[in-house]
A and B are shown apart, each in its own frame.
Chain A
Amino acid sequence: MSETIVLVVDDSRVSRMMTKSAIERLRPDWVVLEAASGEDALSAVALDRPDFILMDVNMPGMGGLEAARQLRPRLPKAGISLLTANIQDSIRDQAAAMGVGFMSKPLRDEDLAAFLAAGRPPS
């Protein structure tokens, strides 16, 4: 059986560390890859095809919404969710419209567990 890959996209190294640590607590056997921008995320999926993607929104260069918009059709089977401090309803609505989940920071373990189990965060 092939390994399960999670891609964490966030311009904050500390945020990536915290998210990676939470994933590794829940799924110690999974592989966690990191990308620091939307552009890096697009490059990363060309090399490895992640099963799950957690995407920050406010990043320099290509933001998370645009990156998710481009990744969604390229990885139709992957679970993709925004993970952002930007809790505005308009961001939530845009995520729903493109078939992407939404989780707010700080990340709750139960939200992450539900996402990694079902490919979408609890609604």
Chain B
Amino acid sequence: MTDFLGEVERDAVTEILNVAIGRAAAALSRLVTAEVTLSVPMVEFLTPALAAERIDAATGKQVSVAVRQTFRSSFSGDILLIFPEGKSLDLVRSMLGDSVPLDSLTELEQEALLEVGNIILNGCLGSLANQLDIDIDSSLPTYVRGRGARILDSSHPEAELVMVLQVDFSVAAKGLGGYLAFVMDIVSARHFSESVNAFVARTLAGGAAPA
């Protein structure tokens, strides 16, 4: 299931997303004022059902909460920020600090997660757009709660395979962890790869530098 990208293309796609996710991690780090550790991004081509199983495996089949944005450019897809449900309130507490009374935190949890998602997902998409020198439109963030299939929402039910990029992140000092995932259908994955190839060619020719 991994023949859609050659080794060099896969490496370029992973690297460019790595930079974008690094930008997102920096934003998260500033929000929670603590260091954020990232795993090496994993790119896989999976059926939607298997992609949902991957999410379940990563979350121990527990209910998760996620913020999802749909993005559109020459390629389109979904980008998701996923947290184990029990940890999201800790994240909100880290973010709002002492400025909000404890009893208001729960009420604000969903809105706070949406804003965290907005900052992190747009940071990631924005870095991607700047690196590839393209415009990317994105939807407003939406909040989802459930297990893998619900989180992924089968937004590509007709697709045989989807490209899933997953990164685990953790904030050790705060006991927080979560996952960031890109989901694209194969047509979009090919267009995305073409944009990355054009970027690599420009960079090697001494053109644009990575943003």
Chain A 1-38 per-residue mask, 1 if CB under 8 angstroms from chain B, else 0: 00000000001111101100100000000000000000
Q: Are A58 and B122 CB-contacts (below 8 A) given A12-B115, A14-B115?
A: yes
Instruction: Decide if B140 touches A87 in the complex (CB within 8 Å).
Output: no
Is A85 in the interface zone, CB < 8 Å from B? Answer: yes
Contacts of A84 in B (CB 8 A): 122
Instruction: Decide if A106 touches B31 in the complex (CB within 8 Å).
Output: yes
Instruction: Decide if A58 touches B31 in the complex (CB within 8 Å).
Output: no
User: By the criterion of a CB under 8 Å from any partner CB, how many residues of chain B are at the interface?
Assistant: 29
Instruction: Decide if A17 touches B122 in the complex (CB within 8 Å).
Output: no
Instruction: Decide if B119 touches A88 in the complex (CB within 8 Å).
Output: no
Main SS of the interface on chain B?
helix
Q: How far is the CA of A85 from the CA of B138 in the complex (A)?
A: 11
Contacts of A89 in B (CB 8 A): 129-130, 211
Contacts of B95 in A (CB 8 A): 18
Is A90 in the interface zone, CB < 8 Å from B? Answer: yes
Q: Are A12 and B118 CB-contacts (below 8 A) given A87-B123, A88-B136?
A: yes
Q: How far is the CB of A57 from chain B (nearest CB, A)?
A: 9
Instruction: Decide if B108 touches A13 in the complex (CB within 8 Å).
Output: yes
Is B189 in the interface zone, CB < 8 Å from A? Answer: no
Instruction: Decide if B122 touches A106 in the complex (CB within 8 Å).
Output: no
Q: How far is the CB of A109 from chain B (nearest CB, A)?
A: 11
Closest A residue, CB atoms, query B33: A106
User: By the criterion of a CB under 8 Å from any partner CB, how many residues of chain A are at the interface?
Assistant: 23
Closest B residue, CB atoms, query A11: B140
Q: Are A88 and B135 CB-contacts (below 8 A) given A12-B111, A106-B27, A108-B30?
A: yes
Is B127 in the interface zone, CB < 8 Å from A? Answer: yes
Name A85's contact: one of B100, B122, B136 (CB within 8 Å).
B122
Contacts of A59 in B (CB 8 A): 140
Is A77 in the interface zone, CB < 8 Å from B? Answer: no
Q: How far is the CA of A12 from the CA of B122 in the complex (A)?
A: 15
Contacts of A18 in B (CB 8 A): 95-96, 99
Q: How far is the CA of A104 from the CA of B30 in the complex (A)?
A: 12
Q: How far is the CB of A91 from chain B (nearest CB, A)?
A: 8
Is B126 in the interface zone, CB < 8 Å from A? Answer: yes
Contacts of A74 in B (CB 8 A): none
Closest B residue, CB atoms, query A108: B30
Q: Can you pick out 24 interface pairs between chain A and chain B where the beta carbons lie within 8 Å of each other?
A: A12-B114, A12-B115, A14-B108, A14-B115, A17-B96, A17-B99, A17-B108, A18-B99, A58-B118, A85-B120, A85-B123, A85-B126, A86-B138, A87-B123, A87-B126, A87-B127, A87-B130, A88-B126, A88-B136, A89-B211, A105-B118, A105-B119, A106-B31, A106-B119
The 7 closest A-B pairs by CB, nearest first: A87-B126, A85-B122, A85-B119, A14-B112, A12-B115, A88-B129, A88-B126
Residue positions of B touching A, CB distance < 8 A: 23, 27, 30-31, 95-96, 99-100, 108, 111-112, 114-115, 118-123, 125-127, 129-130, 135-136, 138, 140, 211
Residue positions of A touching B, CB distance < 8 A: 11-15, 17-18, 21, 58-60, 84-91, 104-106, 108
